Amino acid sequence: MFTFMGIDYGQLVQGDRIHASLLHDPDAFAEEMDRIFIRGWVFVGHESEIKLQGDWVTRQLGNESVIMVREDDDSVNVVANRCAHRGTTLCWEHQGNSSFFQCTYHNWRFGLDGAVRAIPFPDGYTNPKEQLGLDRAGQIDSYRGFVFVNLDGSAGPLDEHLGAAGYELIDRLCDLSPTGRIDLSKGWIAHRVQSNWKLWPESDSDGYHVGFVHASMSAATDTYYDEVVVGGDAVSSSRAVDYGNGHLELDFRPSYKSELSWLGVTRDKVQDYYEALATRVGVESAEEMLWQGPPHAFLFPNLFLGELVIAIVEPLGPGEMIHRHTSVQFEGVEKGFNQRLLRQTEAAVGPASFITSDDAITAERIQSGISGTHRSWAKENRGWIDLSRGLHREEVDEMGTRSSDASDETTNRGFWRRYLEVMTRNVSM
């Protein structure tokens, strides 16, 4: 018999508003870490981070620390970063290369596949060795190098979670690389923010705030955001899109005024890149792709495809999180091209950036603003957050995809619709 921790999610998440208590309630947080980060599919990392056999990185998935490792047979494995004996953390650095994992407490040794290899003084054990391996992710799947896991193994297949839209968004990014492959091995930068993790899927896909929160960026720099999103209603050609399953996009494609706006250059500056791309995809496709650029999208629950930046949303507690990002690097381009992407990433995202530092402050101000609300207030009509913008002009196509003006809260509603589904669906305990 499954019982909620007394939280009536159906009451707190409504079509046009959500209750602010969900942004700081420790009970809700505990349930999210279980239902979303253990029982659902989450992004864990990219295969280019672990190119060689034995390469590993650690990553935090909700409350669980995991190790993503390249095995001896080149497959990618994800295991709990916790000794199967007494629970000691196995890897305390961010990355490394090992032929095995050894616990420092009693020197238990595990293979890259998680199976126990050696136990000192083994005569003391009668249980079969198969029972003594590391906890392994129940499901691991990847697409174009993006590795996803479902820790408990109970979610359906990855394609059910990503849907056609999830694949298309990843394709649209990777296809821009001359080889069709991207590399995410420049390291991740952690931006520590005193806010609930759910404020970032919303912020990363919210078009309404850009002209206000980022007014200083617009005033100080020549940014293409001015033409695709800053104007609110005036930029009616960009779209806020909810593909379902919590996958969201701010689709800037209709608003770009020139090709390569997203790269901030004209074609003559990157002629080699264009020619390499055209060689692979053909001139017609290459021309179109230079206009369209990479997606600005969020894949539920923790992966931001931020044009040429990839970010992971890492919850640490009800009011504490990390927005962890890296720069997309293309294969098959000149060094200078990828350096441009690094500089562009530094300008846009991170603690010292011109853009997301102001999103961080906004998230912290929201967190301060809502921290006194309680879920019992819902029925007294106090402590609600309004997400109704553009509901009257939202369009739904035959696939069920909702879209509206880029300044509308279609994306925010899409996140919470998925949240409600996940938090209330029946699970076996």
Partner 1 sequence: MIPGDLHAEVEAFLYHEARLADEFQLDEWEALLTDDFHYWVPAGRIVGEPSEQLSYLNDNRTRVATRIRQLKTGKRLSQLPFSPMRRIISNIEVSDLGDDEISTKANFVIYEIAAQSTGELRVWPGHAQYRLRRVDGTLLMSAKWIELVTAEIGQRNLTFLI
CB of 75 or CB of 368, closer to partner 1: 368
The gap from C-alpha 164 to its chain's centroid, in whole angstroms, comes to 17
CB of 285 or CB of 339, closer to partner 1: 339
As measured in angstroms, the least distance from the Cβ of 215 to partner 1 is 4
Q: Is residue 179 within 8 Å of 332, Cβ to Cβ? A: yes
As measured in angstroms, the least distance from the Cβ of 368 to partner 1 is 6
Nearest to 17 by CA among 412, 298, 371: 412
CB of 183 or CB of 409, closer to partner 1: 183
CB of 113 or CB of 358, closer to partner 1: 358
Q: What residues form DSSP beta bridges with 271?
A: none
Q: What are the distances in angstroms from CA 92 to CA 59, 67, 81, 133, 297?
A: 10, 10, 9, 19, 31
What does the alpha-carbon distance between residue 13 and residue 394 come to, in Å, rounded to a whole number?
Answer: 19
CB of 138 or CB of 145, closer to partner 1: 145
Q: Is residue 178 within 8 Å of 331, Cβ to Cβ? A: yes
Q: Determine the Cα angle at 316 with ends 416 and 301, to 5°.
A: 30
The dihedral through the CA atoms of 251, 254, 260, 262 has a sign that is negative
Backbone conformation region of residue 238, classed left if phi is above 0, alpha if psi is from -120 to 50, else beta: beta
Determine the length of the chain: 429
Structure tokens at 371: 């921290």
As measured in angstroms, the least distance from the Cβ of 179 to partner 1 is 20
Within 10 Å of residue 220's Cβ, how many Cβ atoms? 9
As measured in angstroms, the least distance from the Cβ of 104 to partner 1 is 20
CB of 336 or CB of 400, closer to partner 1: 336
As measured in angstroms, the least distance from the Cβ of 383 to partner 1 is 20
As measured in angstroms, the least distance from the Cβ of 62 to partner 1 is 17
Query: Which positions touch partner 1 (CB under 8 A)?
Result: 94, 186-187, 189-194, 213, 215-217, 219-221, 322, 324, 326-327, 339, 342-343, 345-347, 350-352, 354, 357-358, 360-362, 364-365, 367-368
Helices and strands of the chain, counted as H and E runs: 12, 24
CB of 177 or CB of 292, closer to partner 1: 177
As measured in angstroms, the least distance from the Cβ of 360 to partner 1 is 5
